[in-house]
Amino acid sequence: MENIQISTFGIYHDDEVLVLQLPCEQSSKGYTFYAIEPILNELQTTKIPLEIGTVFGITVVLDLDDDESDKVYEIKIIHPEMEHSETEYCFSETCYSIDLAAVSSISIVYILEEKFELVAGFWNFQLIKNNRIVLEKEMQTFPLEVSTEDENEEQFFYDM
């Protein structure tokens, strides 16, 4: 019997993220990010500010059956619809497959790199096996607002 649990979730340190960037035809970017080893969590939250460079997602601890031969899972990130600024391609999910045979944990992260990705709404991180969702976590992105009254004031966030 497989035992899969979320160990951490939320916003990750962007200067300590050790991720692999792999080619991925199913991704709108042409590549995807994931980390085989858990990465340090900065803030465990489901509220994610929309800012270039923000890294967010989940870290999953895996205890898979040794005798289970097929350890290929699908990772799906369902997000608000985005339109790629160069290709005008519209998409609302990012999917790829991964073989989890040799790992005990994995961090599934999304890095906000482009302005077209700064879309407020709900994000659902899913781990799928044989067309069955075995784990999911919902998060919400929201705009970053800056006070214009006093230039020295700190930035603040607000919930949608």
Give 78-115 pLDDT, tens digit per residue. 999 999 888 888 989 988 888 887 778 888 888 888 89
Measure the CA–CA gap between 81 and 114, rounded to whole angstroms.
Answer: 14
Query: Which range marks the domain in which residue 147 is found?
Result: 3-157
The pTM of the full predicted model, rounded to 2 decimals, is 0.76
| CATH number where 107 lies | 2.60.40.2390
**Spatial CB neighbours of 89, under 8 Å, sequence gap ≥ 6:** 28, 83
* Domains of the chain: total: 1
The answer on pLDDT for 15 being more than 60 is no
Three-state SS sequence of 60-117: EEEECCCCCCCCEEEEEEEEEEEECCCCCCEEEEEEEEEECCCCCEEEEEEECCCHHH
Give 20-65 pLDDT, tens digit per residue. 555 555 555 555 555 545 455 666 899 999 999 888 999 888 887 7
